[in-house]
Amino acid sequence: MNGPGNLDRRQILAGGGALIVSFSLSDAFAQDQAAPAPAPAPAPAHPPKWIGSLKETPFLDSWVRIDADGGITVFTGKAELGQGFKTAFQQIAAEELDVPFKSLKVVTADTGRTANEGYTAGSHSMQDSGTAILNAAAQARALLIAEAARRLDVPAENLRTENGAVIAPDGQRLGYGDLVAGNLLHIQAQPESTLKDPSKYTVVGQPVPRVDIPAKVTGGASYVQDMRLPGMVHARVVRPPSYGAQLIDYDAAAIEAMPGVVKVIRSGNFLGVAAKKEFQAIKAMRALTASAKWNETARLPKQEDIARVLLGLPSQDSTIFERKNPAAVGLKTIEATYTRPYQSHGSIGPSCAVGHHVDDVTTVWTHTQGVFPDRAGIAEMLRVPPAKVRLIHAEGSGCYGHNGADDAAADAALIAREMPDVPVRVQWMRDQEHGWEPYGPAMVTKLKASLDDSGAIADWNFEVWSNTHSMRPGGAGSLLAAQHMAQPFAVPAPKPLPLPEGGGDRNAIPIYTFPNAHVVHHFIPAMPIRISAMRGLGAYHNVFSIESFMDELAIAANADPVEFRLKHLEDSRGRDVIKKTAEAFGWKKGQKAPDGRGYGFAFARYKNLAAYCAIATEIEINRETGCPRLVRAVAAVDSGQVVNPDGIINQVEGAIMQSMSWTLYEAVTFNDTRITSIDWQTYPIVRFDAVPQSIEVHIIDRPGLPYLGAGETGQGPAAASVANAVANAAGKRLRDLPLNRKKIKDAIDV
């Protein structure tokens, strides 16, 4: 097709040199490979070869489409979850294509339209999708210029782009829409792009207002919860009262006679009801719940005992890091055990989905984080090929990981199939979201370290016990509906998530340099409580443990906690965020907080390969009640090249608030059969009375360096910083999360 006079697009993208049809994976992965070593990352002389999800979905027009009328659409396989990346992607594409920000549209995850980018998780959206869009846009622009050069018979170097057009030296303009004819962008991307010089950026790096906020503050239809399809009915499910309960009996006839009820759906232990109006569905669900009889068999562990239970379960043990230097000798040894309970995602809006089964194809609108994997699970559940199921992402309430979203999508699919042609909206009730979501796993860490005669850490031992941190679908057995239906699917065998990112062992390897270090991951396959991915995965507890223990060691060494960290840290970008935070907080060696208050500090690089974050906090403790309150927090974050500074600040502020809430208040509760934390009374989270006076987030921009994401980087450091401030204020170290009022009071009173 590259006949005479035609554009040799590949050659153009290959920089006029050799024709490169495929590219080496080692190039594409160079960034990942460099990552696990906690060594300082020197600024590269040229832009690194990072192309994100283009490596799996290489056609440019999977990412950027330009219509003949000049309209431009950017496609991402990631799902907007309230992180604001839709705006950031639009900025990246506008910048690289030289078009006005407002002239672009961004289409998010849809199995019928976008690339398969797996899950929107792990702070990967900017790295995977943002990087793909950056490169696809840059390569598209190069092709547009080349096509214009060919048509105008002007050397490409003499052309420039502006406002959606290529402009010749004599002022002639060729609009992008005119230039794209004939599948210009249907070509595989090349491993390297000629990117705009970051110093010339006008859109990237700016706090462009989020595109979704105007509708959200004026009552626009923004969420899947707001969908209203013609003829749509409302469905509710009746979940079993406990894990594994068997449905013995229920009164279908009485329920079907209720006003508005269209259908009662039962398949095995799956029970649901659909009605014309939403409140009719709720009333019918209540009646159905009252009439249903279950045989409950669950035997849950003792909640107070969960750490001991975990330590007693069989585990697969692996040493994930080892360093030996016999020359370093520890003189003073300390040990500590840290524990975390099960914690809830606790989305404000319970999970919701709309299903529509027409002509053998089931379409589900869902706020899942992974339309493709969830489609695979739902197709398996329905026992149909994946092509018979389409999942379209629609926003939901913030999820912070794997909450009830996928399960609600499966509920909608199962019920919709029972009611062909009728759109079905399923929304969970509050107790269902709280009681059935897969929680963030309980964890135990044991640490032991010795200090040498100079007060430096001579050896470091870290062991973590944890379940997996992802039971996301892919297989039907991950979905509640598939577990409960007749001919059910078994829960798939859990797998530990591989390093370098890891799951239970995420951030278990210290970023600090210790002469001797030994890190063990005890992966526990048995899951007494339903769990899956929650913001930060194991990094939340591991960073809480490491950074609490660093403070314990600093105290034992009589050292300032900030100095003590710097003394053990080589990574220069890490040192920079620590110094920035300390300076902005006004951290001083030998400082003493006012009476009843305490200061805390903590730092981590998320996954040891993503964004850097250091957080300093001030906590106040009410001596009478033990009640802790975060007074202020100061953070510095290095997330690589900044696309939207306000987006990063928003994410880190949110992470600090949320992690503070997890750390001070939150634990899933259960008795020997049932989950008992089923609403906001039984699972309290932060309210406005505990909101700090200020949260300050400073960004260290790294122009031209890879995007590192920012969604989860604050989770671990915030927890440890708060814990260290509590210890500083209370004069006692608490190691068992949450550090709630009662535990603090007991500690003070001892």
Interface residue list for other proteins (CB under 8 A):
81-84, 207, 209-210, 212-223, 225-226, 228, 234, 259, 277-279, 282-283, 346-350, 395-398, 400, 427, 429-430, 646, 650-651, 653-658, 661, 679-681, 685-689, 691-692, 694-695
Q: Rule CB under 6 A: is residue 398 a binding residue for ligand FES?
A: yes
Q: Which is nearer to other proteins, 221 or 387 (CB)?
A: 221
Residue 741 CB, nearest distance to ligand FES (Å)?
24
Q: Rule CB under 6 A: is residue 691 a binding residue for ligand FES?
A: no
Amino acid at 42: P
Per-residue tokens: 397: 């309430």
Return the ∠ at Cα 700 (arms to 695 and 702), rounded to 5°: 150
The binder of 742, among other proteins, ligand FES, none, by C-beta within 5 to 8 A per type, is none
The binder of 542, among ligand FES, other proteins, none, by C-beta within 5 to 8 A per type, is none
The binder of 480, among other proteins, ligand FES, none, by C-beta within 5 to 8 A per type, is none
Residue 397 CB, nearest distance to ligand FES (Å)?
6
Contacts of 6 (CB under 8 A, 6+ apart): none
Q: Rule CB under 6 A: is residue 215 a binding residue for ligand FES?
A: no
Q: Which is nearer to other proteins, 37 or 348 (CB)?
A: 348
Phi-psi region of 122 (alpha: psi -120 to 50; beta: other; left: phi over 0): left
Q: Provide the 3-class DSSP secondary structure of residue 447.
A: strand
The binder of 39, among ligand FES, other proteins, none, by C-beta within 5 to 8 A per type, is none
The binder of 24, among ligand FES, other proteins, none, by C-beta within 5 to 8 A per type, is none
Q: Which is nearer to other proteins, 160 or 277 (CB)?
A: 277
With helix as H, strand as E and coil as C, how does 494-535 read? CCCCCCCCCCCCCCCCCCCCCCEEEEEEEECCCCCCCECCEC
Q: Which is nearer to ligand FES, 82 or 704 (CB)?
A: 82
Cβ of 312: how many Cβ atoms within 10 Å? 12
The binder of 83, among ligand FES, other proteins, none, by C-beta within 5 to 8 A per type, is other proteins
Residue 467 CB, nearest distance to other proteins (Å)?
23
Q: Rule CB under 6 A: is residue 350 a binding residue for ligand FES?
A: no
Q: Which is nearer to ligand FES, 95 or 666 (CB)?
A: 666
Per-residue tokens: 410: 């499966």
CA gap 429, 466 in Å, rounded: 30
Q: Where are the alpha helices (DSSP H) in 303-364?
A: 306-312
CA gap 509, 322 in Å, rounded: 9
Residue 690 CB, nearest distance to ligand FES (Å)?
15
The binder of 689, among ligand FES, other proteins, none, by C-beta within 5 to 8 A per type, is other proteins
Q: Provide the 3-class DSSP secondary structure of residue 424.
A: strand
Beta strands in 495-578, from DSSP E residues, in sequence order: 516-523
Q: Which is nearer to other proteins, 624 or 689 (CB)?
A: 689
Residue 398 CB, nearest distance to ligand FES (Å)?
4
**Distance (Å) of CA 479 to CA 20, 58, 341, 407, 566:** 43, 31, 23, 5, 46
Cβ of 556: how many Cβ atoms within 10 Å? 16
Residue 211 CB, nearest distance to other proteins (Å)?
11
What does DSSP assign to residue 734?
-
The binder of 34, among other proteins, ligand FES, none, by C-beta within 5 to 8 A per type, is none
The binder of 304, among ligand FES, other proteins, none, by C-beta within 5 to 8 A per type, is none
With helix as H, strand as E and coil as C, how does 597-616 read? EEEEEEEEEHHHCCCEEEEE
Per-residue tokens: 141: 């622009």
Q: Which is nearer to ligand FES, 418 or 666 (CB)?
A: 666
The binder of 346, among other proteins, ligand FES, none, by C-beta within 5 to 8 A per type, is other proteins
Residue 415 CB, nearest distance to ligand FES (Å)?
23
Q: Which is nearer to ligand FES, 43 or 348 (CB)?
A: 348
CA gap 289, 153 in Å, rounded: 75
Residue 16 CB, nearest distance to other proteins (Å)?
43
Residue 700 CB, nearest distance to other proteins (Å)?
21
Per-residue tokens: 123: 């702070």
Bridge pairing between strands 628-638 and 612-621? antiparallel
Q: Which is nearer to ligand FES, 225 or 467 (CB)?
A: 225
The binder of 576, among ligand FES, other proteins, none, by C-beta within 5 to 8 A per type, is none
Considering only CA atoms, which of 513, 495, 508, 512 is closest in space to residue 464?
508
Q: Rule CB under 6 A: is residue 348 a binding residue for ligand FES?
A: yes
Bridge pairing between strands 316-323 and 516-523? antiparallel
Residue-by-residue DSSP string for 91-148: HHHHHHHT--GGGEEEE--BTTTS-----S-TT-HIIIIIHHHHHHHHHHHHHHHHHH
Residue 168 CB, nearest distance to other proteins (Å)?
39
Q: Which is nearer to ligand FES, 222 or 337 (CB)?
A: 222
Per-residue tokens: 103: 């002239």
Considering only CA atoms, which of 84, 76, 82, 81 is closest in space to residue 647?
84
Q: Rule CB under 6 A: is residue 213 a binding residue for ligand FES?
A: no
With helix as H, strand as E and coil as C, how does 168-215 read? CCCCCEEEHHHHCCCCCCCCECCCCCCCCCHHHCCCCCCCCCCCCHHH
Residue 218 CB, nearest distance to other proteins (Å)?
5
Residue 654 CB, nearest distance to ligand FES (Å)?
8
Strands in 443-451's sheet, in edge-to-edge order, are 316-323, 516-523, 457-466, 443-451, 332-340
Q: How many residues sit in the footprint of ligand FES (CB under 6 A)?
A: 3
Q: Which is nearer to other proteins, 62 or 280 (CB)?
A: 280
The binder of 423, among ligand FES, other proteins, none, by C-beta within 5 to 8 A per type, is none
Residues 159-198 that bind ligand FES (CB under 6 A): none
**Distance (Å) of CA 120 to CA 83, 117, 554:** 11, 8, 38
Q: Provide the 3-class DSSP secondary structure of residue 372.
A: helix
The binder of 657, among other proteins, ligand FES, none, by C-beta within 5 to 8 A per type, is other proteins
Q: Which is nearer to ligand FES, 204 or 426 (CB)?
A: 426
Query: In which residue are the tokens 């200090």 written?
Result: 451
Q: How many residues does the chain have?
A: 750
Q: Which is nearer to ligand FES, 398 or 496 (CB)?
A: 398
Residue 622 CB, nearest distance to other proteins (Å)?
17
Half-sphere exposure of 178 (CA within 13 A, CB side): 11
Q: Rule CB under 6 A: is residue 82 a binding residue for ligand FES?
A: yes
Q: Which is nearer to other proteins, 90 or 650 (CB)?
A: 650
Q: Which is nearer to other proteins, 154 or 584 (CB)?
A: 584
Per-residue tokens: 337: 């055990």
Residue 545 CB, nearest distance to other proteins (Å)?
22
- What are the residues binding ligand FES (CB under 6 A)? 82, 348, 398
